[in-house]
Structure 1
Amino acid sequence: MRSRKPWPGEKPVLLGMARGLLMLVPLALLSWPLATAARGEPLEDTLARVFPLAARQLEATASTLPETEYPSETLPDGTWDTTDADSFTSGFLPGSFWALYEYTGAPIWRTRAERWQAGLESQKDRTDDQDLGFILFTSFGNAYRLTGQESYRRILLTAASSLSQRYDARMGLIRSRGDLDDEDEFEVIIDSMMNIELLFWAARNGGRRELYDMAHQHALSVLESHVRADGSTYQTVNFDPRTRMLREQGKEQGCRWNTTWSRGQAWAVYGFTVAYRETKDPRMLRAARLTADYFIRHLPSDEVPYWDFQAPNIPKEPRDSSAAAATASALVELSQLETRPERALRYREAARDILRSLASPAYLDSNRRTSAILLHGTAFRPHDRFDTGLIYGDYFFLEALLRYSKLPERLTSREPQQREALLSAAPSTGEAPRNRERLFRFEEGILTPEATGVDRIVGPVTLVSEGALVGNGSVRIPDTFPAFLEEHFTDTTDFSTSFYLRVESLPSENTDLVSFLKGRTPLGNLFLRRNGTLFARNGPFEVGPRSNPMEEGELYRISLSQKRESGSFAILEASLARGDEAFECPFASSRVRLSTPRADRLRLGATTGPLDLVIDDVRLDTALP
């Protein structure tokens, strides 16, 4: 072991981790550019470069942030955007300090970890959110593992008890969001798999046996509801809590309902690996394998996934280094739990390759461009939060490196073997139904279809005197109520509309902007909120996340569509684009259960309140019988 200078605040200690495989460079070299992490470079050398850099970045964060602020993602200028203690990201900074303490033994990192986690203790009593594992197990969980301090154990047991109150025995699931007594909706997100480790741990460390049973059953239920046959995952699933009937499977941070958000897939690989470690249930091993294999076989050549595995503009889409880091950490552990040697080798080598790529100049911030350790994270691509540093990406990167460093030397020094070739099993979408398109023109206050058909108009409508937004004509729906356009058509299960919209002034209350109906019964519709965001609804239930906010007086394009899928389900999607920009990923996209599948009319305008609008170039598509 080569000697080195102590890091700031560190007492001289012998760093003998991984049987002497990790070597630190002198602190004076931390500002030197990093060498390219070539595929042939031993990961042990890569590790020796990364931890000093991580120490430099975390040292700077500790010296600039108050102890009551917690970093989440970096801003355009490279500084941290911060949150309060109640954010799911708040535990990752103290968790990263604990990782540096584990690696170095330096008291300064323990001191910093304890200072920042002190403000998180109040979260242990929360029952209004599922993220106590993210917040407290990354901080106090590591603290107890490394120090054995009794007060930390008690905090974690209290947190596990609080989280357990969100478990519903009828559903066999932990409710991710909403009130505990909500009898209308029961939402579960794949992220929940990252919080059940707290329950498993508590059951082994003085908590009730029921905590183990809750975590185990939740994992089994999520396997049934969130994991597709090919191993990909839904992020969001909603149930009817009175009947446990599936109501919605959809996306939130991914692209579409049937694509795969890469960080959600990482949460699944990690969570099912934990569940197998704790239960030794072969169903959990199969789930971990299934989700891990999907992740590995959909990686691009540099082993760091795009933010969504089926994003529409690959290879121009943003990457998500945080998804890579979390999966690498899970794969290291899965390789040690795997019962089949050839699989264990594949998972270990996949973790190694991902870590090498993350440790290369392409992803490691060696030039102090940001406050983060890793570059190119994606927090929420549909809301334009991408190509940023993420504190949870940094945490899982350090955790993965530590885990890999502890593998037996005979494993880490093994010559690389060719990874098993796997074929992508992309699901077939089948043949699209034939459609007819009708373009409506607004002329002299009348909604006129180019094709023959019944048209009706309801409420006062006037032309925009200053001219059209685009095309041949546009209509202004004034700030009166009711005032909307209505078009009748032959009832059908597959339909869509798109149009240009300019909102002259935002509404004072949520307003129904566009609706498909069967008679007077609303099916899919879009509401405009006071802050300019749109949200989709399936009957009385909100579907998916909300859009980016629209600005008063700006021109936008909007679309809303429903396509019959199977049984009583349909695909409901809504998109928003500025001006003539192409629609990309819809802001809402879900497979939903329908109360009434067929529509026979379209309404545009202020159907539930006054709204001053300009609408143009309305297109209605309905499937042919």
Structure 2
Amino acid sequence: MNTRFKIMISTLFIVTSISYAQKSNSFDIKNELVYCVAQASKTLKVIPDDGTSPRSVPNGSKEWKFVNYKDWTSGFWPGELWYLYEATGDKKWEKEADKFSRFLTPLSVTKASDHDLGFQIFNSFGNGYRLTKNKEYKNSILKTADTLATLFNPKVGTILSWPNNKYGGHNTIIDNMMNLELLFWASKNGGNKKLYNIAVKHAETTMQNHFRPDFTSYHLIIYDNETGKKIKGITAQGYSDDSMWARGQAWAIYGFTMVYRETKNPKFLDFAHQLARVYLNKLTTEDLVPYWDFNAPDIPNEPRDASAAAIVSSALIELSSFTKDKNLKSEYLTKSKKMIVSLSDYYQSRDINSAFLLHATGHKPAGSEIDCSINYADYYYLEALLRLQKLK
């Protein structure tokens, strides 16, 4: 590398760093929360009065796609509304959050169809109970935890993710780590104490089987139903069986951080650090928003995934609170804030549609929800803003 080129690169790095530092220093969380309130207010006006909620807005469209309570993403919209109530104290948001949460009530009294009950019920009724202590919400949470536990296979040591699937055997996806919070909460708030043991066992089994030697996550593990033996690790939504699907690694970082919070077992904290380390080390984008898969073949022309950045930014804030190493704690907080600033400055939907964020990717191999707005990106973005606000 010649001297002139080195100077050019160094100058670009300095300018970029100064630009980010200026944005970071001027970043106002209240302004971003006001933005979220305005966007959600616009969304409320277009939701049909039929028990459905907004899931995603396709690239190039302004129109939301709506889903009923059975959809795995149905808890994110009411969860957003509860976060807006927490942020503002405005009873309008409590009323709307209650309305959309109650649409999900049937999930607590019907047979479990998959593992997503945590996403659906804990994000809605869980946030609602945390903020209001409404006993009806608590009842729904406890019933749903028992329902989710019916999918646990003690021979395997994990919760079945997809009962009706094409993969065969007992399947568990990394997303399932997120749903353990429902079980932990229930076990500590009047539910069966066995729910705690199920959650811990699922986390331990996942830790042993779901990761490659470099701590990158498979999306899906197939186990033998009877012996509990791991058969193979594959992907469903990533690029390949050997690639690091961005949102999958994000679920893992967030999930194991949460498990440490609930158990205080240091092995889960150590593991969360390992998962975060490989994610951050492999993250090459200047704005810290990843491509949808770290090993996708056409980078830098691959879609980004704002949802993964939102999940990780929120997770790193919590992980930093458990981190005694001052340098590591500082790194987590600095990078988390940079992710949030990037999402706020470059990924907001604004006048394009009424979601909070653009450029999330759902299921690229299936051609579904590519480079669009998705409610779970918005949910974790708002959660990250609130967590960052509490730090300040």
Q: Quick check: TM above 0.5?
A: yes
* From 59, 65, 73, the counterpart of 2:56: 73
Q: How does 1:108-507 map to 2 (within 5 A)?
A: 108-125=92-109, 126-178=111-163, 185-299=169-283, 300-360=285-345, 362-366=346-350, 368-384=351-367, 385-407=369-391, 409=392
Matched, 1:95 2:82: no
Q: CA deviation at 1:49?
A: 2.1
1:286-305 CA deviation, whole Å, 9 max, x = no partner?
A: 21111111111222111000
Instruction: Name the CA distance, whole Å, in 1 between partners of 2:25 and 2:310.
Output: 15
Instruction: Name the CA distance, whole Å, in 2 between partners of 1:95 and 1:199.
Output: 18
Q: CA deviation at 1:337?
A: 1.4
More helix by share: 2
The DSSP-based 3-state class of the residue aligned with 2:112 is: coil
Amino acid at match of 1:85: Y
Greater displacement, 120-129 / 140-149: 120-129
Instruction: Name the CA distance, whole Å, in 1 between partners of 2:141 and 2:239.
Output: 35
Contact 1:43 1:352 in 2 (8 A): no
The 1:189/1:43 distance shift into structure 2, 3 A limit, reads: farther
> Gapped runs of 5+ residues in structure 2?
1-18
After the TM superposition, list the runs of 4 or more consecutive aligned residues in structure 1 that deviate by more than 6 angstroms: none
Amino acid at match of 2:323: E
Instruction: Name the CA distance, whole Å, in 2 between partners of 1:109 and 1:357.
Output: 27
* From 48, 53, 58, the counterpart of 2:35: 53
1:229-287 CA deviation, whole Å, 9 max, x = no partner?
A: 21210001101111222222111111011101100111000100000001111111121
Residue matched to 1:504: none
Amino acid at match of 1:172: G
Amino acid at match of 1:263: R
* From 45, 65, 73, the counterpart of 1:63: 45
Q: CA deviation at 1:43?
A: 6.0
Instruction: Name the CA distance, whole Å, in 1 between partners of 2:272 and 2:213.
Output: 13
Greater displacement, 383-392 / 37-46: 37-46
Amino acid at match of 2:27: D
Instruction: Name the CA distance, whole Å, in 1 between partners of 2:207 and 2:382.
Output: 28
Instruction: Name the CA distance, whole Å, in 2 between partners of 1:264 and 1:168.
Output: 22
1:566-620 CA deviation, whole Å, 9 max, x = no partner?
A: xxxxxxxxxxxxxxxxxxxxxxxxxxxxxxxxxxxxxxxxxxxxxxxxxxxxxxx
Instruction: Name the CA distance, whole Å, in 2 between partners of 1:343 and 1:242.
Output: 42
The DSSP-based 3-state class of the residue aligned with 1:338 is: coil
Instruction: Name the CA distance, whole Å, in 2 between partners of 1:244 and 1:280.
Output: 27
Instruction: Name the CA distance, whole Å, in 1 between partners of 2:26 and 2:207.
Output: 36
Contact 2:349 2:356 in 1 (8 A): yes
Amino acid at match of 1:208: N
Amino acid at match of 1:148: K
* From 2, 26, 40, the counterpart of 2:22: 40
Q: How does 1:569-584 map to 2 (within 5 A)?
A: none
Q: CA deviation at 1:406?
A: 0.5
Contact 1:46 1:359 in 2 (8 A): no
The DSSP-based 3-state class of the residue aligned with 2:162 is: coil
Instruction: Name the CA distance, whole Å, in 2 between partners of 1:304 and 1:214.
Output: 34
What is the count of residue pairs matched by the alignment?
Answer: 370
Q: CA deviation at 1:179?
A: 6.0
The DSSP-based 3-state class of the residue aligned with 1:40 is: helix
* From 101, 105, 110, the counterpart of 2:89: 105
1:325-346 CA deviation, whole Å, 9 max, x = no partner?
A: 0111111111101233322222
Instruction: Name the CA distance, whole Å, in 1 between partners of 2:25 and 2:257.
Output: 23
> Gapped runs of 5+ residues in structure 1?
1-36, 410-625
Instruction: Name the CA distance, whole Å, in 2 between partners of 1:207 and 1:342.
Output: 40
Contact 2:152 2:160 in 1 (8 A): yes
The DSSP-based 3-state class of the residue aligned with 2:353 is: coil
Q: CA deviation at 1:382?
A: 1.5
More strand by share: 1
CA RMSD of aligned residues (A): 1.9
Contact 2:156 2:224 in 1 (8 A): no
Amino acid at match of 2:146: S
Q: CA deviation at 1:383?
A: 2.3
1:550-579 CA deviation, whole Å, 9 max, x = no partner?
A: xxxxxxxxxxxxxxxxxxxxxxxxxxxxxx
Contact 2:24 2:338 in 1 (8 A): no
Amino acid at match of 1:122: P
Amino acid at match of 2:195: L
Instruction: Name the CA distance, whole Å, in 2 between partners of 1:332 and 1:404.
Output: 7
The DSSP-based 3-state class of the residue aligned with 1:229 is: coil
**TM-score normalized by structure 2?**
0.91
Which of structures 1 and 2 has the bigger CA Rg?
A: 1
Q: CA deviation at 1:45?
A: 3.2
Contact 2:156 2:229 in 1 (8 A): no
Q: CA deviation at 1:44?
A: 7.1
Contact 2:224 2:231 in 1 (8 A): yes
Q: CA deviation at 1:120?
A: 0.4
Contact 1:194 1:267 in 2 (8 A): yes
1:154-190 CA deviation, whole Å, 9 max, x = no partner?
A: 110001010011111111111111169x9x6100000
Structure with the greater relative contact order (CA < 8 A, sep ≥ 6): 1 or 2?
Answer: 2
1:410-440 CA deviation, whole Å, 9 max, x = no partner?
A: xxxxxxxxxxxxxxxxxxxxxxxxxxxxxxx
